[in-house]
Amino acid sequence: MSLPHPWRTLRRCPQITLEWHNGGAAGWYHFRSRTISLRRGMTQAERRSTLRHELEHHFNGPVLESLLAKEEIACELAAARDLIDIRKLGEALAWTQDRRQLADELWVDPGLLDVRIAHLQPSERAYLRQRLAHLEKE
């Protein structure tokens, strides 16, 4: 199974312009100009996570200002589910529960990992319990 690749997705969207900024938010998407801006100086995992989040804004389209907070959560969750496969999460959890190591192994930022874990579906929780059952016996 290959890793999801937001950079390839971006290349398939020639209508989107990529820009870079200094300081401030990790990234943003401007609907009118169809521009994604990413902060300089982020790690590759941070850029990958942020780009996937901003692409989700593009795919979802503009929302009412009153729904922006919900849209942010929805975009972060969609990015987390896309970039963090439950089986890969299970394999990583089998050898470490350290948040930073997990994020590094899964090639995402720790915040995206937190969102993925916080929003596991019941079937995903059951899979992880089964996958990690041997750890409780040791």
**Per-residue pLDDT tens for 86-128?**
999 999 999 999 999 999 999 999 999 999 999 999 999 999 9
* Per-residue confidence band for 4, with pLDDT thresholds at 50, 70 and 90: confident
C-beta separation of 28 from 16 below 8 A: no
Structure tokens at 52: 């996937």
pTM, two decimal places: 0.92
CA distances from 138 to 2, 11, 47, 128, 133 (A): 32, 47, 37, 17, 9
Q: What is the mean pLDDT of the chain?
A: 94
Rounded CA Rg of the chain: 16
Burial class (CB in 10 A: 0-12, 13-18, 19+), 138: exposed
> CA dihedral defined by 15, 24, 68, 65, rounded to 10 degrees?
-90
Structure tokens at 29: 């998407």
Predicted confidence at residue 73, as pLDDT, reads 96
User: What are the backbone dihedrals phi and psi of residue 16, each rounded to the nearest 5 degrees, phi first?
Assistant: -95, 130
* Per-residue confidence band for 136, with pLDDT thresholds at 50, 70 and 90: low
Q: Is the pLDDT of residue 1 over 60?
A: no
Pairwise CA distance, residues 32 & 56, whole Å: 15
* Per-residue confidence band for 137, with pLDDT thresholds at 50, 70 and 90: low
Partners of 21 in beta bridges: 39
Q: Is the pLDDT of residue 135 over 80?
A: no
Mean pLDDT on 37-52: 97
* Per-residue confidence band for 3, with pLDDT thresholds at 50, 70 and 90: confident
C-beta separation of 21 from 40 below 8 A: yes
